[in-house]
Amino acid sequence: MQLVECKMLVVLAQELNMRRASQRLFVSQPALSQRLQTIEKAWEAQIFIRSQKGLALTPAGEKIIEFATEMVEKEEKVKEELGSLQTEVHGTLKLAVASIIGQHWLPNVLKEFVRKYPHVTISLVTGWSSEMLQYVYDDSVHLGIIRGNPDWKGVKEYLLTDQLYLVDTEIQEFQDVLKTEKPFIQFKSDSTYYQEIQDWWHTQFQTSPKRTIVVDQIETCKQMALHGIGYAILPSVSLKEEDDSVYKLPLLDEKGKPIARDTWLLGYDSSFQLKQVQAFLEVISEYRDV
């Protein structure tokens, strides 16, 4: 099977829709359907089941798509290695980034990177740090930017530390938390971050919040706190200087030290040899904590 056919099958498996796949591949639906029939004939197996709702993979199709995906990824890897031999920086930079960093710290970094290296394609996935760490373990990305203190045996470089604050429009000291009728607004996060906040809370108050609202995104949590709906615990990386309409109380541990989260950049040694990765490291050196 030719590489162009592998790419075609990968797109079909991603879209599971002939119309959308044909648009992505810049071919007509009839031409795409005929090409698919030719491939299935060559494999002597049906790859997709067709219906009015779209396409569904057959068991044989799953195996063939797995093979096609592997071929496409190998081609991409070879292209990256060839690109690294060129003077100008090309290729794809694949990043897996913790959501908080992706929303609040990374945009300025990427803006500068794109300005300096316009020929590099950026592939970015964001989510909880535990999920992003798995992408790095699987070698699905070149670099991971992870919060906390991940157990990693490859290259691990420190990026920044941000402190945790209790944020509210009215609460000026921690004891006011016990008096307010406002809810404690929390955003969904990985288990280690959640546990840190729980440990601090029970050490500080020896009781549970009167009311709690849980939201999906940190930005939703922040906006609710800024608008006085409730109070929240937020990392400093998500707070801007212009957020001066609220009180920000730093969280301290039992020894009076600020409670903070470190952010790390991770990757395998082979990734750090790529020119696009080296270029990215050059850019982020201007944004990391000293």
The domain that holds 277 is classified in CATH as 3.40.190.10
State how far the Cα of 66 lies from the Cα of 49, in Å rounded to an integer.
Answer: 17
Place 158 in a pLDDT band, splitting at 50, 70 and 90: very high
- For the CA atoms of 220, 225, 231, 235, the dihedral, rounded to the nearest 10 degrees, stands at 70
Is the confidence at residue 290, as pLDDT, over 60? no
Is the confidence at residue 8, as pLDDT, over 80? yes
Domain final position from 83, 115, 146: 83
Show the domain range for 8. 3-83
Judge if 152 and 276 occupy the same domain: yes
User: What mean pLDDT is reported for the chain?
Assistant: 90
Lowest mean pLDDT among 42-46, 96-100, 192-196, 230-234: 192-196
In a domain, 289, yes or no: no
pTM listed for this prediction: 0.67
Is the confidence at residue 1, as pLDDT, over 90? no
pLDDT at 141: 95
Judge if 185 and 245 occupy the same domain: yes
In a domain, 290, yes or no: no
pLDDT at 257: 92
pLDDT in tens, 86-101: 667 888 999 999 999 9
Judge if 175 and 256 occupy the same domain: yes
For the record, the structure tokens of 99 come out as 């959501």
Task: Determine contact, residues 32/21, Cβ cutoff 8 Å.
Answer: yes
State how far the Cα of 89 lies from the Cα of 120, in Å rounded to an integer.
Answer: 7
Is the confidence at residue 264, as pLDDT, over 80? yes
Judge if 154 and 189 occupy the same domain: no
Strand-pairing partners, residue 267, are: 155
CATH of residue 66's domain is 1.10.10.10
Is the confidence at residue 150, as pLDDT, over 90? no
Judge if 105 and 186 occupy the same domain: no
pLDDT at 87: 64
Query: Considering its fold, how many domains does the chain have in total?
Result: 3
Percent of the chain residues past pLDDT 90, beyond the cut: 65
State how far the Cα of 156 lies from the Cα of 152, in Å rounded to an integer.
Answer: 7
Q: Which of 141, 164, 165 is nearest to 154 (CA)?
A: 141
pLDDT in tens, 12-31: 999 999 999 999 999 999 99
State how far the Cα of 170 lies from the Cα of 46, in Å rounded to an integer.
Answer: 64
pLDDT at 85: 64
pLDDT at 192: 78
In a domain, 53, yes or no: yes
